Structure 1
Amino acid sequence: MSSLAFACRPNAIQRTCFAYLKYRKQAYVLPVNHQFNPIEKIVELYRQKIELYERMLKEKNELIDKLMKERK
């Protein structure tokens, strides 16, 4: 076997790397059916923030009531 033919033949690491790169290229080419609407995400996060604030306010009020009852 000539040294040129041996040098052109990929080894196991190169074959694995080529296979991985081919897989990644195919993965990026596949069509994506997911629709991402940033406005909906912002609205959802805002709603979650409001719910969190409401829970925090409720817990604060309950704690204040508890402390006031203990004080009497």
Structure 2
Amino acid sequence: MVSAQQFGEAAAGRSDDDAVLRSQHVAGVEVPQQLVAPVVKRELNSFLAFVKRRDAGLETDEDTDQEPVKTTV
């Protein structure tokens, strides 16, 4: 159980555990986000360009660059 003093230290940001959790967050969440963001942006732009072409009648809904997905085992 956390004592009131420990809770107060953690809330004030003076706890060693708090620093460890922050460093783990940066290493576990923020770094991968920064690495994946350009890929997500490129794929989203590609998809939006496809939707615009499809809405303009330049493309059909058929996916020509991939095989159909097999949904049964």
Of structures 1 and 2, the one scoring higher in RCO (CA 8 A, sep 6+) is 2
Find the structure with the greater CA-based Rg.
Answer: 1
TM superposition score normalised by structure 2: 0.37
